[in-house]
Structure 1
Amino acid sequence: MTTIPYPIGTPGQPWGAAERAAWLARQIRRRSYATEVLDAIERLRTQWDVVEYGRLDYASDHYPLLAIRSRDWRDDLPCALVTGGVHGYETSGVHGALRFVERHAADYAGRINLLVAPCVSPWAYERIHRWNALAIDPNRSFRADSPAPESAALMRLVAPLREDVLVHIDLHETTDSDESEFRPALAARDGKPYEPGEIPDGFYLVGDSDNPQPAFQQAVIAAVAKVTHVAPADRDGRIIGSPVVAPGVINYPVKSLGLCAGVTQAPYTTTTEVYPDSPRATPEQCNAAQAAAVCAAITFALAQRAQPVA
């Protein structure tokens, strides 16, 4: 297959400052974090605590980073962490997290503390992009001395709770633009050849290969399957190049890759992947699927915690 070279950089040579600047100059604000996210969070203040856990400052762009927190927080309860918008272009991750708080979170009052960071990467949300303004992927940057301020801020927020988090669900999407823009840009940035992949049609999960929790993953898949379709394996039994270990589930070593799902010591973790470009899914279904995944994850984790030790 012949591919068109990415319009920035020289094939085989990693980007330097000039190429990153050229890439940044191409990025255009396409939607409003203030209107679409901050206003939605503001409406939740009557029932939830809202904390500003950091600020992003990119030239003339300034963004408060907000998290939604249980008002009736109890130190004797475990915590559920919900994150969305680590990749800002993955719209249902953001709005699925907000939908969960608006419609479902009250069902868990008195049973678990909730901490929801619905839009980890607001600069990228506005530009419908995967990277931040530094051409860095925040979801490969959850590690010590993180180069991504979005990731570093979330890690600071979560640090005091790392041992208390029972379940963490990180809400993502896989889109057609992964192949048309983001993977070619990644190859160009790193001076590597671009190898075309296949976008799966449907929802799937990425578990932790070091702590896979298959029953947990399947409980989430079963709940989401009532809302939207689950991605099948490709002809090689894979999804995005990884072996399918159960219907709709693949595993990554999340901590070593610096993924958001590895930011705590939670026994139950997963990353959702919705496919918004499918002709079989609407934006409403995508948001609902994300919220259903969160509910299923928390419900399963609470049920396992309630079981007596043998």
Structure 2
Amino acid sequence: MTPLPDFVEPLHAGLYAIDTGFHRPQFDAAYLIVHEGRAAFIDTGTNHAVPRLLQALASLNLAPDAVDYVIPTHVHLDHAGGAGLLMQQLPSARLVVHPRGARHMVDPSQLYQGALAVYGQAEMDRSYGTLVGVPAERVLHSSDGMTLQLAGRTLEFIDTPGHARHHHCIWDAMSQGWFTGDTFGLSYREFDTLEGAWIMPTSTPVQFEPEALRESVQRLLARQPRWMYLTHYGRVGDVPRLGQLLLDQVEAMVILARALRDVPERHQRLKHGLLALYQDRLAGHGINDAALVAELLAMDVELNAQGLGIWLDRNPDA
């Protein structure tokens, strides 16, 4: 094995976290599972991450045809934007995707237009590039409770709506952990303190559903996992504490949104309220630099406010 690149972090049980380089260091992870000479990627990052994923393989002396599966947790572009381009380089791989997201992996034009409406053309050009479709015959739909074998290593899929309806999470029994995509929220390493990691929900547009998210998180916790493997960012333990923190904040965000349903300039008020919520919770966690919190969470605050606004408009009685 050649030395690992500095963007590849070995974890345990044949798992590697790959920093995709999206936005800033330790913001967006893809995972590589290696077992008995076979491999699977879980999440891919964007097109710009593909050279890193292939370099990670090569550094482990794995050929492209050693990859059996590419598994986006859902089809948002920071998780699956590079899937089509990556699949072109992996001749033996199948793409395993939630059935609600599969058509967007085969023909990503609608996915692109949806992201364009959120991010704008300049950001799409800078961060995502041209999306590449995956041939339909190489796409495998997941289902709730489905299992796949990676050289005898069992990967189990469950349906986890709440962040997105096209979201599944993957249980790896060997490592006793879930690959959670965005269902188990965001945990940035800049906010680690002596108290441990901190976590927050993501209500990114357009399919945030708080009750479904609560149920999905409870399903993850019911397995009593040792680890959660987050796309944003990395492996976290102390799962019961983080799970409760996550659920508490989902409730706080819903209460805030309901209180602001009919106010003027609702989006700006939602952003202000969310930032205040996160700054307050992080101060209690030992992070007292409000300006740093505002800087690091600027994009998340914007997207969470958009998602909450869409949820309010779709659910006038919520």
Instruction: State the TM-score, normalized to the length of structure 2.
Output: 0.26
Instruction: State the TM-score, normalized to the length of structure 1.
Output: 0.27
Higher helix share: 2
